Amino acid sequence: MNSFEYANPTTVKEATGLLAAQWGEAEILAGGTDLLSLMKNYVATPKRLVSLKDIAELRGITASAAGLRIGAMATLQELHDHKAVHNDYHSLAHAAGSVSSTQIRNMGTVGGDLCQRPRCWYFRNGFGLLGNDAKGQPLVPRGDNRYHAIFGHPGNGVGAYYVHASSLAPAFITFGATVKIAGPKGQREVALASFFKTPKTEGERENVLLPNEIVTEIFIPAASKGMQTATYEVRQKEALDWPLATASVAVRVASGKVTSAQIVLGHVAPVPWPATEASKWLVGQAITETTAAKAGEAAVRGAAPLSGNKYKVQLARVAVKRALLETIAGKEGMSHG
Amino acid sequence: MASEKWPEAGKRSLIGKRLTRLDGAMKSSGRAKYTYDVSRKGLLHGKLVFSPHAHAKVVSIDTSAAEKMPGVKAVQLMIEPGKEVQWQGQEILAIAAETEEQARDAARAVKVQYEKLPHFVVDASPEKAGSNGRPLAEQVTGNPDQGFKEAEVTSEGTYGAPVITHCCLESHGQVAEWEGDNLRVWASTQNVSGISGEISDGLKKGGVDVPASNVQILTPVMGGGFGSKFNADTWGVACAQLAKKAGRPVKMMLERDQELMAAGARPSIHARVRVGAKKDGTITAWSSESWGTGGVGPAGNPILPYVFTRIPNRRSRHTRVNTNTGPARAWRAPNHPQMCLITMSALEDLAAQLQMDPLDFFLKNLPFVIEARAESYRQELLKGAEMMEWKKKWHPRGDKTPGHIKRGLGLSIHTWGGGGHPSNCNCTIRPDGSVEVFLGSQDLGTGTRTVIAMVAGETLGLPVTGVKVNIGDSKFPPSGASGGSTTVGGVSASTRRATTNALNELLAKVAPSLGVEPDKLEAKGGTIRVIDDASKSLTWKQACAKLGATPITASGQRAPSGPDGLISSGVGGIQMAEVSVDIETGIVKIEKMVAVQDCGLIINMKTAESQVNGAMIMGVTYALYEEKLMDEVTGQCLNPDLEFYKLAGIGDVGNFAVHFMTGAGYDERGVIGLGEPPVISPGAAISNAVANAIGVRVPTIPITPEKVLAALETTPRPPSAGSEREGGAA
């Protein structure tokens, strides 16, 4: 990796001041589990690293009457182990605990999970975020796209084909989480659902951050408590591996019927993918083997698989079904076998 | 005189016991110094510049900017401008700098101009490969057409396995250090005694005249080779050249991406097979058309069918497909896992057509394996069936159990040679009772060091701690390369002879003081004693003290060729796999693997089992996960990392049960190698188990979710939970 300057600020203000106005000049170091491999592969070649490790205000997870505040530098393991997360946000705890490996859970941070770069092998092998050849033509639709998007990609044109790699975002979004962002001009807060975006050109990124902004915390409003939640991830290996598709679901049930539902898919699109139609359809239904399967079917309606990833449509369908069934597992009326 | 013959079963003190490997604690605590760990005063770090293109002409190489980079001390060209590179990862030059990071940055600053040429990187069928296909001669035995006419049932299928790599934990590389005209090389090699000459030759070509005798190779421990580390390699020579130019030692280990792109690949195989049988299961004919790639050069020569080589009527033809991919290297049991996968899959499909239990089908057709193996295969199949509870668990194709998890069983049979390579051993017994053996051999992680100590200890009546084993140095008596599962045969024969010869010299010295002829003495339990009269004995130390001031040194040899009474060749084994398959996600889990193996006289039962366990882990990995993926458009490897080049972890491998055939009928065959045979069957056994579980063949390994789901689409699904099928469409 190139030589770089290492900055170790102790306040957010100091940190944002150390970032550059252009992408690529400075990089933020949180857990480093993604950044270091990007730098070793020369995909990231920053002149300066801004470490967030010594910024106390970015740490910690605190529950209050208003909701749950998660510092961006809280580790995945801390999130998984936190009592409030465990009690009220089962799907989130599960998502954090499922990240492989142990080392990554111990080093990787919540902010890092949301801001990590795609695992797309064209991106990682130096063909840019959109994976274009020297003539600017996209390689993914012509190449090996087994792990790429089935939703939200441009078909055959230029654009993003990668899948967002965040494990936590789908669950966070089902809780209506917001994300706080600090920049040189102060703080702003956006819904996590609108934090992610799909780049159209090579100069854009995967989220709304400006080059000199930092995610400082994630907030889950207390109103989201009391839902039945689950995350199901389809992953080939037990050992270090990425999910092929995931679904996080959060439902409220009264008198055996769903009164509200949030279903968000992961690893199927360049952004966490809300299954809006399936969520709407589920309201008024009792969760059974049949309705869970129908919701899975609705969730993948409109999927546009590439030449080599049709199987992911089935995996997304199953992930939704199984996540929904998990919300009723062990309860009266449970019917899956 | 002590005899070199192996002791009989009741008289063995160490052989056949379960001993923990001598270097286990040293390795697991991180104290073992691998080549990667070697640090020398003034050490520089080398990095390679390699071609990013699959096929290109090197127009020019400009190192001027790189040479001015901080810390850079030497540059060595490895290809001349004007020449072609034939695969991504092919070496262009090497750079040495003060730190690894500086060397890496300098390598990035080298400007190489390429003229890109058309590439061909996929193992396409002969029809599609065009001029890249090199058909080998068709092999015909008997009358295949007649054989198929006689068949009452025939089965046809296409099967395959992709190119995979070796994935040694320690990548290729070495540390080179000059001292005057002498060169010392710490190398991660399977061939300690053999590569001095190669480095000497390479240096001579570059104008540095150093005889092989001045080149010392050191490999005290090494982190895996699996067939990929027999040679010094271009980077071995370049490392020595860099060290010469810089006047300082240089360490150059390959990065993981180079390792995956350039340092070894197992040839792929694909085959269309037709096979026929009588209704009673007797095979009548085999026909196969196969192809595969081993990179740019000729590699991969599968001979089909495998094991059932005496099927009366058979026809086979193989086409080598040349591709612009990293060259093939021997991969643990070269050709065998591929041949096994094709053959055992095709035969299991035939058994399914016949509606026969494949266990019965394989037993029925044992007359078609070589005669010497038939009976041991029968015993092994029955033993494996007992361990797997085969008859209780097996069901016809397609698990009819409701729900989305389907279980299945599969089996496979394999064979291997494994004779002993040439080996020399020196044994020194000193007057204080200390004993050393010296062999220019290497322990790849298999337990060779421990086996040598056990053989020496057995001979001398000492515990393994009573013998110091010196290996991993080319200044020791030469021993062969560790390939073909020949190491244990080679080193156990030479060690047995050297220690027997040394003991006989000692017995001759000691005999007068015990008042008997030397041939009445034996070494047992740390003593030299009169046979059948334990009251007349000397402790080992007392006996050695009789040597006066002069140690004994004796040598022993496993002759370069020919039969050897201590060792032999030829083993068989069977494996069975039990899998569960989630038919909604296509994910395969290994529940259990059973291995039954013969390999003659086993010296260390524990390290032998460890070899089989390790081989089955490797087998599960290539059956389910591994594939070197090449991008057709760019010609580049898509997964030169251990993230998307997937390897099994401990949670993925399931439970293993290992049984060795030992005792009468096996022990008297002498010592035979074991490293390779147990890695041959897992792919076939697992593929067969998946077919048994889901009712349809997944044609190629690795058996990924996408392939399982695709295969299930080709056939009516086994019954799943009723309600979810109703709910299939909202």
ipTM value of the model?
Answer: 0.96
Q: Quick check: B526 pLDDT over 60?
A: yes
- CATH architecture of the domain with range A228-328: 2-Layer Sandwich (3.30)
CA dihedral angle for residue A275, residue A279, residue A285, residue A290, rounded to 10 degrees: 10
Residue B210 to residue B227: CA distance in whole angstroms: 28
- Which residues in chain A are contacts of B632 at CB distance < 8 A? 142-143
Domain B266-418+568-722 has CATH 3.30.70.580: no
pLDDT for residue B561: 84
Strand partners, A68: A63, A220
Asked if B427 and B553 count as a contact pair (C-beta separation under 8 A), the reply is: yes
Interface of B with A in 481-540 (CB under 8 A): none
Q: State whether B723 and A288 contact (CB < 8 Å).
A: yes
Tokens describing residue B388: 């797997």
The C-alpha torsion from B192 through B421 and B664 to B496, rounded to 10°, is: -70
Lowest mean pLDDT among B42-46, B161-165, B300-304, B641-645: B300-304
Which residues, other chains included, contact B135 with Cβ-Cβ below 8 Å and sequence gap of 6+?
A: B126, B317, B318, B319, B320
Could you give the angle at the alpha carbon of A173 between the alpha carbons of A169 and A177, nearest 5°? 105
Q: What is the pLDDT of residue B491?
A: 98
CB B208 within 8 A of CB B245: no
pLDDT band at B716 (very low <50, low <70, confident <90, very high): low
Q: What is the model's pLDDT at position B263?
A: 96
Q: Do A240 and B643 touch (CB under 8 A)?
A: yes
pLDDT band at B300 (very low <50, low <70, confident <90, very high): confident
**Nearest chain B CA: its distance from A321 CA (Å):** 10
Residues of chain A whose pLDDT is less than 50? Answer: 332-337
Q: Work out how many CB contacts closer than 8 A connect A with B.
A: 117
Distance between B639 CA and the closest CA of chain A, angstroms: 7
Report whether A143 contacts A302 (CB < 8 A). no
Q: Does the pLDDT at position B715 exceed 90?
A: no
Confidence (pLDDT) at A330: 64
What is the C-alpha end-to-end distance of chain A, expressed in Å? 52
Taking CA atoms, A56 is separated from A68, A111, B464, in Å, by: 18, 14, 57
| Alpha-carbon gap, residue B408 to B16, rounded angstroms | 35
Q: What is the pLDDT of residues A71-114, one digit of tens each?
A: 999 999 999 999 999 999 999 999 999 999 899 999 999 999 99
Quote the pTM value. 0.96
Chain A CB contacts of B726 below 8 Å: 290
- Chain B residues with CB under 8 Å of A295 CB are 730
Q: Write out pLDDT tens, residues A194-205.
A: 999 999 999 999
Cβ burial, residue B54 (10 Å; 0-12/13-18/19+): buried
Are the Cβ atoms of A124 and B641 closer than 8 angstroms?
yes
| pLDDT category of residue B722 using cuts at 50, 70 and 90 | very low
What pLDDT, on a 0 to 100 scale, did the predictor assign at position A23?
A: 95
Cα gap A197→A200, rounded to integer Å: 9
Length of chain A counted residue by residue: 337
Residue with the two structure tokens 């205000």:
A57
Interface of B with A in 652-671 (CB under 8 A): 652
Mean pLDDT, rounded, for B651-655: 96
Q: Which residues of B touch A291 (CB under 8 A)?
A: 727
Tell me the average pLDDT across B701-712. Answer: 98
What does the alpha-carbon distance between residue B590 and residue B377 come to, in Å, rounded to a whole number? 24
For residue B455, the model assigns a pLDDT of 98
Which residue(s) pair with B47 in the sheet?
A: B95
Contact list, B730 vs chain A (CB under 8 Å): 281, 293-295, 297-298
> Please, what sign has the CA dihedral across residues B108, B112, B113, B115?
negative
B411 contacts B351 by C-beta, under 8 angstroms? no
pLDDT digits (tens, 9 = 90+) for B270-291: 999 999 999 999 999 999 999 9
pLDDT, position A333: 41
Name which of B49, B122, B706, B720 to mutate to probe chain A: the one with the most chain A Cβ atoms within 10 A of its Cβ.
B706
B402 touches chain A (CB under 8 A): yes
Mean pLDDT, all residues of chain B: 96
What is the residue whose two structure tokens read 């409701």?
A: B402
Kindly state the helix (H) or strand (E) to which residue B572 belongs, with its residue range: strand B571-582
Taking Cα atoms as reference points, which of B330, B353, B204 lies closest to residue B275?
Answer: B353
Does the CB of B403 have a partner CB in chain A at under 8 Å?
A: yes
Region B675-691: mean pLDDT is 98
Taking residue B642's Cβ as centre, other Cβ atoms within 10 Å add up to 13
Pairing of strands B405-416, B313-321: unpaired
Q: Which fold has domain B35-118+172-253?
A: Aldehyde Oxidoreductase; domain 3 (3.90.1170)
Check CB contact under 8 Å for B646 and A237: yes
Query: What's the CATH number for B420-558?
Result: 3.30.365.10
Q: Rounded to a whole number, what is the distance in Å from the CA of A46 to chain B's nearest CA?
A: 14
Residues 6+ apart with CB under 8 A from B85: B51, B53, B55, B56, B57, B58, B79, B92, B114
Kindly report the number of other CB atoms within 10 A of residue A33's CB atom: 20
Which candidate, A197, A234, A232, places its Cα nearest to that of A309?
A: A234
At B616 the pLDDT is 98
Sequence-distant (6+) residues with CB within 8 A of B180 are: none
For the segment B604-610, the average pLDDT, to the nearest whole number, is 98
Binary contact (B721, A236; C-beta < 8 A): no
The answer, yes or no, to whether the previous bond of B305 is cis (omega within 30 of 0) is: yes
The shortest CB-CB distance from B638 to any of A121, A235, A289 is to A121
- Amino acid identity of residue A73, one-letter, is M
Q: Is the Cβ pair B587, A234 closer than 8 Å?
A: yes
Q: Which residues of A touch B643 (CB under 8 A)?
A: 119, 240, 242
Instruction: Indicate whether B213 pLDDT > 70.
Output: yes
Residues facing residue B671 across a β-bridge:
B567, B600
pLDDT of residue A331: 62
Contacts of A127 in chain B (CB under 8 A): 634
Domain ranges of chain A: 228-328
Q: What is the pLDDT of residue A1?
A: 67
B658 backbone dihedrals φ, ψ, rounded to 5°:
-120, 135
Q: Where in chain B is the domain with CATH 3.30.365.10?
A: 266-418+568-722, 420-558
Q: How far is B403 from chain A (nearest CA, A)?
A: 6
What is the rounded radius of gyration, in angstroms, for the C-alpha atoms of chain A?
20
Residue B298: which pLDDT band, with cuts at 50, 70 and 90? confident
Buried b (16+ CB within 10 A) or exposed e, B241-255: bbbbebebbbbbbbb
The residues pairing with A263 across neighbouring beta strands, listed in sequence order, are: A249
Question: What's the CA gap between B598 and B572, in Å, rounded?
Answer: 6
| Distance set, CA B408 to CA B97, B155, B718 (Å) | 55, 20, 13
Per-residue pLDDT averaged across B416-441, rounded? 97
User: And the tokens for B170?
Assistant: 């320690």
